[in-house]
Every structure is written in C-alpha cells, then in structure tokens.
Structure 1
C-alpha cells in the first residue's frame, strides 16, 4: 500500500506548552501553510483528548476544521505509543476525502468499505503489522459478522482514539438518524475510560447535543464528564434566498434561464431520484455539463462525479441527499434546492457545503407544491411499527437457524426497505443479532418504545412546520433573517442578522421575469439577450414536462416464499422462478411517476387521501383526460387494442370506470366493463411486500362466463387493462394472468400514476 511514513515520536514527556508547539507544527504540516494557527476550540479539543483522555463532543460549522482535530489527535496519540485511531464515518465519499486529507498530513490512513473489498486483506495485514495510524469504517461495518468477529476485538484492544464523525446520526432527534450509529454507545462502553473519544457534527441542536453527550458519557465513577465545545454555526459567506414560483414549469424555466449566472460550480438538490435525473437531462449541454448524482449512481461513477465537481469540470451536480455529509469542495460556489428538505437543520447541513473557502456563495431555495407530500412519505416509511417488529421477532424466534433478509421478507408482510431498517433497530436494541447467513433472535426481552417514536414523529412534524416558516420569511422584516432563523433552529444563541440574505436586503437573485445573462456573465443582467443558439427556456422545459407516458415493465418472476404462504399454480406446481410468457403482461404505460416533475402535482391532487386515510374517488379532470389521450396516441404498440377492461376497485370505482369508459368511447374500442371482484374483496391496505401482495390478490378477481365469452369473441386481439395507479405491479400482473389463462390476447396495462 502507498501509505506515508509516520513522523518520528518525541523522546521527552510533553507539557501543555510543548504539546501546543508540537500540535502547531503538525497543523502546519497538515495545511501546508507556515502561518497556520488553530481556530478557537481546536487545540482545547486536542489537549482534552491527548493529555486528559476525555470524551469530547465538538459542534462546529462546516469548514471549521473538525477533521484537523481528529487527525492531529490521532497523530499525537501514535507518537505517544497509542494504537491506531478508529474513525466511524457514514459515507464512502466522506471516507475517500478523509483518507486523502490524512495522507497529506503524513498520517497513514486506510478505509474499509463496500467500495474496496479487494483491498481488505492488505489493510488487515497493515493493521496487524502496526503500519496504520487511522482506520475508517462505516457504522454498518460494525454489524458485519466477519468484521465483528475478526477485526473489531483487536481494534478495541489496541484502539488509541475513537472518532465518531457526523455524530448527530447517533440521535433519534438528529435529522439523519441511522440505527447502526446507536451501536456506538456499546462500543464506547467497551473501550474503557483510558481511550479518548471524539464526536463531531455541524448540525446539532440542544436536544441532539444532550442525547449524543449522554451516549458518550463514561460509566465508571469519577470519570470526567463529556466536554462539549460549541461554536457559532452561522456562515458569513452564504447569501441565502428563497423564491416561490407557481409550479414545476416555472421553477425549471427559471433554472434553465439563470443557472449560468450562479457563481462557479455547485449542487442542485432535489427530493427524488427521478427529479435529479430529469433535471440533469434538462440542464446539461455541450458547453455546460450537468450530471445526476443519486442513490442509483454506482460507487465508481460517484467518485468520478465528485472529482469532476471539485475540478470545476461540471457546472453542477443535480443530486439527492446521497451527496451530502462530508463532501469537501471548499470553493463550492452555489447550492440550489429544487424542493425543500423536511427540516431547517437538514437544509443547513446541505447548504453548508458551499462557501467554505470563498468570500461569497449563493444559496437559493425553490420550494415546490409537492414538498409536503414527499416529506410525509419518507417520514412514515422510516418509522417502524410494533406490529412489524412483533412479526419479525415471532418469525425469528421459531426459526431453526439464521434467516436472510430476502427470506425473512417472504415470511413477514414488510417491504424490503422498511424491513432492512427494522432488523437494524432490533439488532441495536439487543433483540436480534447478525450472523453469517442472516439474522437470529437473541431471546432477550424487547419492548416497543411507543412514546419515543411518538415523540420523534412529533418532532419531525415541528421541523416540517419550521421549514415552511423559513420559506415564508418576508424580505425587509427587521426582526428576521434567514441565517439567523437557521442558527436558532440549531440553538445557536450567538447569531445575529447576516445583512446578506434576501430578508436582510433586497432579493439578490433575478426575479422570475428577468432574462438570462449572456454566456460568461457573472452577475444578473436584467434585460439581457438569451444565449445565442440556445433553446428558449420554455421550449427546453416543455420537452421535459410534456413527455408522453412512462413505460411500465411487466413482472417476469414470482417472488420468493409463495409456497410458505400456501400458494401453488392451478396444476399444483410451485409458483417460483419465471412467470410463463403466455401468462405475462405486455409492457404498459402510466401518465407519469408520482415522483416526476410536472405531472406529479396534479396526479397527487386527483389521487389524494382524506384525513382518515381513505382514498378519495374524485372525477377525472379535463387536463388529465387529455393527457390520457396523448399517451394512447403516442403508444407504439404492435397491434392496436380492440377492447378496454377496468380493474375492479373498492376504493376508486367511479374514477376507474370513468377512465375505462372514456378510453373505449374515444378510441372506438369495446368496453368490457370492470374485471369482477370476489364477493369478499376488501380494500388492500395490509399487504406490502411482494409475496404477501400476491397472496392477498390471488383470489381477488373472478372470470365470469360472460367475460370469457367476450374475450373469446375478440379472437386474440389485445386489450387495455386500466387502473388508477400502479404500485407493486402485482395487481396488474395477476389480473392479466387470469385474462390470459381465460383466452385473452395480449394484455396492455395502463394507469394514471406509477407510484414507485
């Protein structure tokens, strides 16, 4: 491995004075500047760790130099004969930057993550040979059975310093809570009082600070309490603003027209993956690169995109929160949000990427009408329920051996994403344990902490309201300031009005009617001509928003575990592997995804639920009806459908019937009515994962003699199968299978919305 040699250790015992001198010299080596000096609080943290071996929580704004504290403390500890530092870091991108920074300082550092499995053996050998000063791992690695069994005991035995970066992730109250981080409390307890512990974050209010400090607190009598060092969290370089526009079309046109006026390179955050990908397609052009960076971007491409942004080879990355904590580009010129995060603290964390080493950086929020619906979706998706937890514990409590997450999904009715979160929570709380082959029950008693989850849910709602309050701050109000508002959300009582935001002064950004500046212009130029040769903003946005339809791929395989639920084919054969080609759907269409820009808003308004959680059966709007016509006209099918059949619905029967009848009438197709429901069919709200969804749908529909006769009369012609929305695709899959087995021709599914 290409690691630098460790600096020589001093021969004499240090005093406070010589420790500062030694730390100062190391700081200058780290920064490459002979005049480098500590910021207020940096040496205090280093001294507490190296000399007093205390537990320290540092809450300082992004760019203050938290990484310098832990690299220097690790280096000084090594010089005094201590073992390597273990740094818990939440993101692969953050690890890459931290390893590079450590090596520049002469600190021998490596990372173990999912991005470098081929290097693990070499890194482990370097640890055994005492050739590493710092090892970075993710919190998820602490759950890995092999790492926990083979590496963690030796690291605990030799650890000279434990660092928990982005420590707000420990806390339920943190904006980016991660269950695996809560395991660190046990790790801290195993280290004993003689190993110093440092936790760092830039985004923690008083409740999070108290929670993290409690989890770091030493258990032994007489141990020093956690030292908390908090600084001002305001950023003088940031110029904040918020511009509310009427709809997605206006927001996108604004970005097309004014992106080049934003300084340098930056990040445009979106709330969904599809929005990031669509935005990148819209804004990218040969002379101004814009790329998408999301959870779907693979690790190698992420590294390339991060470097391209650092090197100013792209104007912007259109990104989800996947590009967040720890990304380090000190001269990042701007951050724009197309849609607001769900809390001011999360917003502060993302805008803090900008302006770390520049005098000014522009930060603009463009909120959307759909923001609250997206917040609610993610908030409810991440909250485990007692029923789900009880089901998982009951299943694993009777299992004869380890059960993998995919196998467990076939046994309990919980979606994969929610199940992965739930088993982590249960493991952290001692009820489950990860072993080779999957999960086992520990047999330890466990109680669902309903009050805690209720309190967390209430806190999330309060954060959402605070974000709406931030958006509604009025320019010119002498009692308000955007930076001051964010600082108060973080309980920073040192803040004062910034004098730069659009509340303290006039809006610094061009208004929605301002023309774009010519290429190469750095400042707004109201009335300037558009860039020569470039499409108008309206034309570019129209091409994106007026795309006709979204393809819906057919299900081709049965989910695992149907035999455990008592399901078999009509012949008695097992339902596993491929669905026979003659029983599959054709490729279908939806008007739009519910996460898309543009059409998602009117679709959400049509397909909304009331306060009791019941789906509202609203009439089809003229705009959406016209959109259906456009989708059908653009559909490049091999053979035109001859008939239309609605999916029998218990929640929106009027909407589905109106949709199917309208298509039949306008397209001059035969209206077959609705696929009949079984007499005991009820609304489907329970089944959530694929296996249980199939089980719930298996006997839901019936083929009547009349329908069989109608299908026969069509002589194999294709039919449209119509529903209000497609989520798991199993409703359409099983309904289509019944129709094909009853003698229909190809079945083409059509829905208003694609939910996932």
Structure 2
C-alpha cells in the first residue's frame, strides 16, 4: 500500500486496522490509500452499505479482509463474499491467510469439502466464506445453508459488483439474487460492493440493488467511494497492421522484447490456440488458456505465470477477473474486445506493482464479426422465453436442462442463461430434479433489452474510437467509466509517440505465413444421441452403436482460425440479398485440401483404413462447391466418385437449435440411391470418404454416416472445408 497524504487521525480503530494492514501486506511501512480506512470505518463502526469503485490494484480486498477481522474481534459472525470466479476465490483465500483470516469456499470445484466447511461454520471457525453467485440459485444451498448464514452473518461483500448490472460488460443473472439476500439481512449487517469497471449507469444500478430497504428503515443511503481510475503504470498503444499474417509476425518477432511475463489475449479459442502454437514453434515458452482448459490445468497455468515460468499465457476472456499478478509486465491483444470497459478490465491485470507495464492492441479485420456473434448469442428473445415457460408449465414434474432441450429449440449455453434470467425474475425455480415454473406472472421487457442492445452498439463504436482517434488512450478508457478525473496520461502513443517497434522482418513474416498456411483440424465423431429424441419423433437414445458411427474426420480449418479462417469466411459469405454465394473450389483451396488428405493418410486415416471411394453430401445452398470439392479430391487421390446422397422427398429440413432439434431436423433426411448402393456393394465394405462444405453441430454428418454404414461401408471418414467449432 502506498503512503497516503491524508491518513486519518490516529484512533483505536485506525491503529487496529493499520496493524492488520501490515500483517496482510507483510510490510511494516504500509499505509492506507485514500478512502480505504474510510470504507473500513463505515462498515465496522456504522454498519453502512458502501459501494467502492476503484482501479485494479487499489486494494479493495484489503478493505473487506480487515473489516472482517475487526468485526470478528467484536464478536460478529463470518463474512460472506460473493465472487464470480474460482480463480478469484483461490487468490483471495491465499491472501486472507497471510493476515490470519480463516477463509473457506463453497463452489462446484470443492463439493467433496462442503460438509467439512459447514462443520467449521457450525463451530464458528470460519472468518470468511466465499461463494459463487450461482450458489444463490442452488435450491439446496438457499434452503439448507443460506438461512443459517443470514442469521449469523457479520458482513456481506459483493465483489466485482458490476456483474449485478445488465448494463455492465460482464452481467451475471444470478447476481440479481443479491438484492433478495440484502433484503433478508438485519439492519446491523454492513454490506460492501466493490468493482473497478463501472460507469455512472452501472453505479446507479448497483446503488439501487444495495439500497433496498434503507429508505423504509430510515437508515443512511448507500455510501459511494469513487477514486480516479487511470493507471499511472500503464503505457498504452494501438498498432494497426494490414493482415493477420503481419500481426502474428509482429508478435513472433517482438514478444521477447516486452519486459517480464504477461498475457496475450485473443477473441476466440481457436485464435488463442493457433497463436500459442505459433509462438511455441518460434521458441517462446507460452501456453494457451481458454474456456476449453481443464480447471486443474487452469490453476497450474495461473501459477506458472505468477512464478514467471512462462513468458505469456495466450488467453481468451476466460483469464480475466480474479487473476492477480502484481508484477505482470505486459498485455497484448490480438483483436479488440467489443467494449472499452471490458478492455480496461483486461489490461488492468498489468502493472499493479511495477513502475511501468506495456499494453498494446493489435486490431483484427474480423473483430466486428466476432462482436456481432457474441452480442446476438447472449440476448434472450420473448419467443424463446415463452417456449421455456410453456414447456415447464405443461410438464408433470421438474425438467432437467437436457430434458428441456428436447422440448425447446435452444442450445445448451443460451438455455442455461435464459433459465437463470427467468429464475431471477421469479418465473421459474430450480428444485430437486430440475426446473419448474413458479406460477408468478412474467413480462418480457422489450424496451429494456432494446436499450441494452443499443448500449452494446455504442460500446463497439467507442472501441473503434479508441483504436482510431488521436485522443489520449487512457483518457478515453476512463471517460468510458465516467471518471470525473479523466485527463491525458502523457505516456500512451497518442501522447508521447509510438513506444513499440512497428517493423516486421522478412523472416518473421515467412514464419507467420507458414504457421497460418497450416491446414487440418480434426472433427471428433459423435458417440451419444441427444436426450429426449422420442418426444421429437426420433426413435434413438443412448450410445451410438459402434457399427453406425462416423470415424474421426478432418476439416481444412475453422472459420475462426487466424490463417485460413479469413479465406473460408469469404467462401461462405452471402450476397446483398442474403443468399449464399456458390462457386467451385479454387486451386489454392484445392491444394490445401490435398495437403490435409496427405497428412491424414500419414497419420493412418483415424485408424479406419484408406478410403476406397468418395461420397458427397447433397447441398441445397452450395451444390457447385460441394460437387467440385468431391470431384477434385477424387481426381487428386485417384479414388472413384461413388455419387451423392439423395435428399428425402418432402423432408421439412430446418437447421434446428440445440442438439436434440438439430438431430431431429436431419433425421431420415438422407437416402442411399440405388446407384450408390450398387457402388457400395461393389466395394465389398471398404471405407468411404464423405465430403461436405461446412460442419457445425456434426449431426448431418453423423446421420449421413449412419446411413452409409448401414448400407455396407466399413467406415465413413468425413471431410469438410470448414468447421464452425
């Protein structure tokens, strides 16, 4: 903690707090930052409700740990901290122990330890209990454990409180339940909410949530402590490069010149994995960290970065709130987040305890497409909400999410999000066995969602302003957070000139080109039918029989890949009227396809054996593309083209939404023609290559492969141009 010019007058409480601060930081010369002791005093002496909006690294956790110990010394019960990420819980528990705080957590990651933690709570051995907001949506926790905590709680802390607000960049529906929790608390229980990323609109929203019941009880309003958000240690810059190849080449050449260890952010999982692979090939010690990373591996990778055992983690937003490395030396973004507030939150990981940290944004041509995808995927519609309520209302018993998927055409992740929103709004509840309606009236607030949608567009435009305008970059970021003290920083590239190299050598460009030209992505075969297919008229369930499965397949690349992704997105674009553009495979893409087949053959054809013929999928939108691909592969591989699967006459088609509906939309859609059956019979059960243009859910390939296996093919090896995954 830095020394403060306005340290409060010495008092008994102040001296106790300072002693605890020394223990927490391990420094005998530590002093409170302006506002820290004021917040502690308001919580401990006056049982206030307080909102603290301060930059990352200011010491918000010190406020609630010290307040917790002071309240415990006065005989109060344990502090309950609601934290959004397991990584945050790990860091906080470790920090608390240094100050003598006995901290424990209840989360999905330590379910086997719950009984031990509850026993400690019963014996009053826990000073601080950390839970995720999702615990508040757990029926067992709410009914069996939460009432005891409410009766004994000494302090409630809402960390990363911007998650309360759906105006915030990282809204979590379950945070809305905190308002109900606050309403249950006795007036003597103080409440603290903390965040570093809240503009004035989010501040008002959080104040409203915290202030429930204050007016009726005649108590003081919510106390808000807001400090300057600019980070004096950060040196910001934007380097716009002409292509993904040059952008990757810059990173390959210059990552080593960035001081210390840091984070390289990417917008998608595939971009993070591709970038990490390229950097490792160039000799850098880096690892990928994404939503696909196993929880145990996440903890290992976080520790490796904290201990400077890696130069960088190449991460998606999965590495964000909660990761604390005070000496993080740099943050580089390969593509821009859609919001300056989200960008501020990510770059705020750097330079917390160093005089300087470098922050560089390398925008990508595909950024806007990615922004639009995530924006539309997260917005619930009234039709989908009504469908969920109707199916739950007609069910005779609670429905699991899997069972509900067979009744509503919504994918798993959006369905989970929608259920949490409806639960917070009181329309549904999670009980033993699944979800059920509450019977309460529900209204879809269309104007509110439209306002949120417009706010997202405004944020995207503000991010483009950050990239392109000549204003001080730090000033632009903190102005987005309505910081009244926003001013030019004097350090960023707009204030002081480019501090980063802008050149890319020929060798780095060649290395990047080689990396991005690499082709070949494995397509994992489906092994399990979706739950509840019988309700949709499909007589399937359980495991897909081994004799009816596809083998592992191959795609040239993902649509989100840094290299071939751009080229493939061009192929799958639509015209001005929204109609698909259909054209034959060009020579360059044809060579890439042959390269994938050659590598696949070298790897042993997924253990299925060399294909003896090629079958193509019927295409409604791009028949030229698929036919030219199949015929080209047949010529290059000297394989006979056996023909095309037929579309069943009168089949309704439809893309479907979640797995059950996607499968139902293609069930019995494909037929073996007499000519194709004859060709398969003549092959005496040899493997076949099944060719299509694009794979998403894999259900079309799965159903088509099943038909071919039943018609006599010993194995079916799917090959496509592009994968959405």
Task: Give the counterpart of 1:608 among 573, 592, 597.
Answer: 573
Change (3 A) 1:681 1:468: farther
CA distance in 1, matches of 2:440, 2:686: 60
Residue aligning to 2:701: 732
Change (3 A) 1:665 1:682: farther
- 1:61 Cα deviation (Å)? 0.3
2:321 pairs with 1:350: no
Does structure 1 conserve the Cα–Cα contact (< 8 Å) formed by 2:644 and 2:676? no
Does structure 1 conserve the Cα–Cα contact (< 8 Å) formed by 2:179 and 2:212? no
CA distance in 2, matches of 1:109, 1:303: 19
CA distance in 2, matches of 1:611, 1:390: 33
Residue aligning to 1:485: 476
2:209 pairs with 1:215: yes
**SS state of the match for residue 346, structure 2?**
helix
Over residues 332-360 of structure 1, what are the superposed CA-to-partner deviations in whole Å (9 max), with x where a residue is unaligned?
A: 11111112111111010000010111110
CA distance in 1, matches of 2:291, 2:312: 17
Task: Give the counterpart of 1:382 among 378, 383, 392.
Answer: 378
Residue aligning to 1:253: 249
Which stretches in structure 2 are left out of the alignment for 5+ residues?
1-8
Does structure 2 conserve the Cα–Cα contact (< 8 Å) formed by 1:593 and 1:600? yes
- 1:369 Cα deviation (Å)? 1.6
**SS state of the match for residue 504, structure 1?**
helix
2:81 pairs with 1:87: yes
**SS state of the match for residue 352, structure 2?**
coil
Residue aligning to 2:4: none
Within-5 A mapping of 1:665-744: 665-681=635-651, 684-685=654-655, 687-744=656-713
- 1:650 Cα deviation (Å)? 2.2
Change (3 A) 1:726 1:57: same
- 1:400 Cα deviation (Å)? 2.2
- 1:744 Cα deviation (Å)? 4.2
Residue aligning to 2:5: none
Residue aligning to 2:502: 511
Task: Give the counterpart of 1:617 among 570, 574, 582.
Answer: 582
Q: Which moved more, 1:425-434 or 1:624-633?
A: 624-633
CA distance in 1, matches of 2:410, 2:631: 36
RMSD of aligned alpha carbons: 2.2
CA distance in 2, matches of 1:229, 1:613: 51
Over residues 49-81 of structure 1, what are the superposed CA-to-partner deviations in whole Å (9 max), with x where a residue is unaligned?
A: 222222111111001111111112212222222
Over residues 273-309 of structure 1, what are the superposed CA-to-partner deviations in whole Å (9 max), with x where a residue is unaligned?
A: 2222332233237985212222222222222222221
CA distance in 2, matches of 1:165, 1:492: 20
Residue aligning to 1:522: none
2:364 pairs with 1:333: no
Residue aligning to 1:571: none
Residue aligning to 1:146: 140
Residue aligning to 1:572: none
Residue aligning to 1:320: 316
Task: Give the counterpart of 1:76 among 70, 74, 81.
Answer: 70
Does structure 2 conserve the Cα–Cα contact (< 8 Å) formed by 1:193 and 1:218? no
Residue aligning to 1:370: 366
**SS state of the match for residue 688, structure 1?**
coil
2:151 pairs with 1:157: yes
CA distance in 1, matches of 2:634, 2:282: 45
Does structure 2 conserve the Cα–Cα contact (< 8 Å) formed by 1:549 and 1:591? yes
Task: Give the counterpart of 1:443 among 439, 460, 478.
Answer: 439
Over residues 479-522 of structure 1, what are the superposed CA-to-partner deviations in whole Å (9 max), with x where a residue is unaligned?
A: x111111111111121111111111122111113369xxxxxxx
2:124 pairs with 1:130: yes
Question: How does the TM-score come out when normalised to structure 2?
Answer: 0.93
Q: How many residues align?
A: 710
Task: Give the counterpart of 2:591 among 615, 626, 644.
Answer: 626
Q: Which moved more, 1:92-101 or 1:45-54?
A: 45-54
- 1:670 Cα deviation (Å)? 3.6
Does structure 2 conserve the Cα–Cα contact (< 8 Å) formed by 1:239 and 1:501? yes
Does structure 2 conserve the Cα–Cα contact (< 8 Å) formed by 1:650 and 1:682? no
CA distance in 2, matches of 1:91, 1:288: 29
**SS state of the match for residue 718, structure 2?**
strand
Residue aligning to 1:7: none
Q: Which moved more, 1:716-725 or 1:727-736?
A: 716-725
Over residues 586-606 of structure 1, what are the superposed CA-to-partner deviations in whole Å (9 max), with x where a residue is unaligned?
A: 322110122322111111121
Does structure 1 conserve the Cα–Cα contact (< 8 Å) formed by 2:584 and 2:629? no
Task: Give the counterpart of 2:518 among 537, 540, 547.
Answer: 547
CA distance in 1, matches of 2:340, 2:346: 10
CA distance in 1, matches of 2:517, 2:283: 25
CA distance in 2, matches of 1:314, 1:487: 31
Task: Give the counterpart of 1:657 among 627, 633, 649.
Answer: 627
- 1:666 Cα deviation (Å)? 4.1
- 1:86 Cα deviation (Å)? 0.5
Over residues 163-201 of structure 1, what are the superposed CA-to-partner deviations in whole Å (9 max), with x where a residue is unaligned?
A: 000001111011111111111111111114322111110
Change (3 A) 1:144 1:668: same
Within-5 A mapping of 1:402-481: 402-473=398-469, 477=470, 480-481=471-472
- 1:542 Cα deviation (Å)? 4.7
Change (3 A) 1:298 1:639: closer
Residue aligning to 2:6: none
- 1:380 Cα deviation (Å)? 1.7
Residue aligning to 1:48: 42
CA distance in 2, matches of 1:645, 1:585: 13
Task: Give the counterpart of 1:591 among 538, 541, 556.
Answer: 556
CA distance in 1, matches of 2:343, 2:576: 28
More helix by share: 2
Residue aligning to 1:60: 54
**SS state of the match for residue 486, structure 1?**
helix
Q: Which moved more, 1:176-185 or 1:558-567?
A: 558-567
CA distance in 2, matches of 1:413, 1:122: 41
Residue aligning to 1:227: 223
CA distance in 2, matches of 1:646, 1:88: 53
- 1:232 Cα deviation (Å)? 0.8
CA distance in 1, matches of 2:357, 2:267: 22
Does structure 2 conserve the Cα–Cα contact (< 8 Å) formed by 1:593 and 1:753? yes
Question: How does the TM-score come out when normalised to structure 1?
Answer: 0.89
Change (3 A) 1:580 1:671: same
Task: Give the counterpart of 1:283 among 249, 272, 279.
Answer: 279
Task: Give the counterpart of 2:32 among 35, 38, 43.
Answer: 38
Does structure 2 conserve the Cα–Cα contact (< 8 Å) formed by 1:607 and 1:618? no
CA distance in 2, matches of 1:279, 1:708: 45
Over residues 416-449 of structure 1, what are the superposed CA-to-partner deviations in whole Å (9 max), with x where a residue is unaligned?
A: 1111111111111111111222212211111222
**SS state of the match for residue 225, structure 1?**
coil
- 1:679 Cα deviation (Å)? 3.2
Q: Which moved more, 1:667-676 or 1:215-224?
A: 667-676
